[in-house]
A and B are shown apart, each in its own frame.
Chain A
Amino acid sequence: MSDRRDFMGMALGGFAGLGALGALYAAKRTWDPLPSVKAGGFTTLDLSNVPENTLVVEKWRGKPVLIIKVPKNAKPNSAPNGHNENAYDDKRLVTVGGHKYMIVIGLCTHLGCIPDYFPEKNKFICPCHGGQFNAAGEVLKAPPPSPLVIPPFKITGTKVVLGEEGPEYKKLLAAGVVS
Chain B
Amino acid sequence: MAHFDPNAKPFSHKWLNERLGVDTLKRVLSTEYWIPKNINFLWAMGMVLAATFGVLLISGIFLLMYYVPTTKEAFDSVNYTIMSQVGYGWLWRHVHAVAASVVFLIIYIHMLTGIYYGSYKRGRELIWISGMLLFVAFSAEAFSGYMLPWGQMSYWAGMVITNLFSLGSLNLNGLVEWIRGDYVPGQAFLGRFFMLHVVLIPLFIIGLIVLHFGTLRLPHVNNQDGEEFDFEAEAEKWKAGKKKEAKVIPFNPVFLSKDVFVMGIYFIFFFYLVFYHFEFAMDPVNFDPANGLKTPPHIYPEWYFLWSYEILRPFSKNIGLIAFGFAQVIFFLLPFLDRSPNVAPANRRGIFKIWFWLLVVDMVGLTILGKLPPVGTWTIVGTVFADIFIALWIALPFVTKMEKPIGGK
Q: Is the interface of A mostly helix, strand, loop or mixed?
A: loop
Q: Is B179 an interface residue (CB 8 A)?
A: yes
Q: Is A15 an interface residue (CB 8 A)?
A: no
Interface residues on A, range: 20 to 34
Stretch of A45-53, A92-100, A125-133, A154-162 on the interface side? A125-133
Distance A128 CA – B320 CA, assembled complex (angstroms)? 14
Of B295, B296, B315, most buried by chain A (CB within 10 Å of CB) is: B295
CB of B317 within 8 A of CB of A145, answer yes
CB of B182 within 8 A of CB of A33, answer yes
The tally of residues in B whose CB lies under 8 Å from a CB in A reads 37
Q: Is A143 an interface residue (CB 8 A)?
A: yes
Q: Mark B151-163, 1 if CB is under 8 A from A, else 0.
A: 0000010011001
If the complex has contacts A130-B375, A143-B320, A145-B317, are A112 and B159 also in contact, measured as CB distance less than 8 A? yes
Of B184, B318, B379, most buried by chain A (CB within 10 Å of CB) is: B184
CB of B178 within 8 A of CB of A64, answer no
Stretch of A16-24, A54-62, A83-91 on the interface side? A54-62
Give chain B nearest CB distance to A148 CB in angstroms.
14
CB of A114 within 8 A of CB of B181, answer no
If the complex has contacts A31-B192, A62-B292, A111-B160, are A129 and B313 also in contact, measured as CB distance less than 8 A? yes
Distance A41 CA – B183 CA, assembled complex (angstroms)? 10
**Chain B residue, CB-CB nearest to A28:** B178
Of A110, A113, A127, A128, most buried by chain B (CB within 10 Å of CB) is: A128
CB of A128 within 8 A of CB of B316, answer no
**Chain B residue, CB-CB nearest to A114:** B295
If the complex has contacts A31-B192, A37-B183, A110-B317, are A145 and B160 also in contact, measured as CB distance less than 8 A? no
Q: Mark B368-380, 1 if CB is under 8 A from A, else 0.
A: 0000011100010
CB of B295 within 8 A of CB of A128, answer yes
CB of A31 within 8 A of CB of B178, answer yes
Distance A127 CA – B285 CA, assembled complex (angstroms)? 14
Q: What are the residues of chain B within 8 A of A63 when measuring CB–CB?
A: 183-184, 292
CB of A128 within 8 A of CB of B293, answer no
CB of A59 within 8 A of CB of B181, answer no
**Chain A residue, CB-CB nearest to B161:** A111
Q: What are the residues of chain A within 8 A of B182 when measuring CB–CB?
A: 33, 37, 62
If the complex has contacts A110-B317, A111-B163, are A32 and B295 also in contact, measured as CB distance less than 8 A? no
Give chain B nearest CB distance to A39 CB in angstroms.
12
Q: Is B12 an interface residue (CB 8 A)?
A: no
Q: Is B76 an interface residue (CB 8 A)?
A: no
CB of B188 within 8 A of CB of A33, answer yes
Q: What are the residues of chain B within 8 A of A143 when measuring CB–CB?
A: 313, 315-317, 320
Q: Is B47 an interface residue (CB 8 A)?
A: no
Distance A107 CA – B177 CA, assembled complex (angstroms)? 15
Give chain A nearest CB distance to B320 CB in angstroms.
6
Q: Mark A133-171, 1 if CB is under 8 A from B, else 0.
A: 000000000111100000000000000000000000000
If the complex has contacts A37-B181, A61-B184, A127-B299, are A112 and B160 also in contact, measured as CB distance less than 8 A? yes
Give chain B nearest CB distance to A36 CB in angstroms.
10
Q: What are the residues of chain B within 8 A of A28 when measuring CB–CB?
A: 178
Binding site for B on A (CB under 8 A): 28, 31-34, 37, 41, 57, 59, 61-64, 107, 109-114, 127-130, 142-145, 179
- 5 additional A-B pairs beyond A32-B181, A63-B183, beta carbons within 8 Å, are A34-B188, A59-B293, A111-B164, A142-B317, A143-B313
- By Cβ-Cβ distance, the 4 closest A-B pairs, closest first, are A62-B184, A114-B295, A61-B183, A145-B317
